[in-house]
Amino acid sequence: MKKRATVYDCSVIILPKIKNRAGNITPIHPFKNVPFDIKRVYYLYDVPGGESRGGHGHKELQQLIVAASGSFDVLLDDGENKKVVNLNRPYFGLLMPSGIWRELLNFSSGSICLVMASMLYSEDDYIREYEDYKQYVQGTLTL
Ligand code: TYD
């Protein structure tokens, strides 16, 4: 059986930044800047200031989360430990292995949450209820 990831396996990485007087570029390459192939990209925007989203877990999905603009907090929870990560630079990325519960909190107004995902969208991969997540990590529920 695969070892279950904990919040301590989630890390903030510093992404490359190509500097220019007229603005900077941050490229993200699969297998180079993230340890997976990028199958999907999505972004959250027009989130009202102070709003929260994304209270769910994923069974297999790995993600890199970037505050492409503005800032927000990511609450990470592995069923035992919790950790809050503040993302506030477009060249920081939160690398999340599979199996972690996460919530996105305290969006600054106008912020953009950019997500690089290892899988195509699949509702079957979501664990939407925290109680189900707790049971899932305890191995008592196969969702
Ligand atoms: P969801 O991941 O539940 O966002 P949050 O937890 O932040 O509210 O997605 C919200 C809705 O968008 C949900 O109905 C599924 C849909 N969705 C897609 O169709 N494709 C995607 O890639 C994503 C991320 C969401």
Considering the candidates 56, 83, 89, 134, report the single residue annotated as catalytic.
56
Q: How confident is the model at residue 39 (pLDDT cuts 50, 70, 90)?
A: very high
Q: Full-prediction pTM beyond 0.85?
A: yes
Please identify, by atom number, the ligand 1 atom nearest to the C-alpha of residue 115: 24
**Binding site membership of 103 for ligand 1 (Cβ less than 6 Å):** no
Which two three-digit tokens encode residue 69? Answer: 């603009």
Which pairs from 43-47 meet CB under 8 Å and 24+ separation?
43/68, 43/112, 43/113, 43/114, 43/115, 44/104, 44/112, 44/113, 44/115, 45/111, 45/112, 45/113, 47/72, 47/107, 47/111, 47/113
pLDDT in tens, 47-69: 998 899 989 999 999 999 999 99
pLDDT in tens, 96-138: 999 999 999 999 999 999 999 999 999 999 999 999 999 999 9
**Binding site membership of 42 for ligand 1 (Cβ less than 6 Å):** yes
Give, using CA atoms, the residue closest to atom 8 of ligand 1. Answer: 54
Are 133 and 57 spatial neighbours (Cβ–Cβ below 8 Å)? yes
The alpha carbon of 124 and the centre of ligand 1 are apart by a number of angstroms equal to 12
Question: Cα separation of 43 and 68, whole Å?
Answer: 9
3-state SS, residue 132: helix
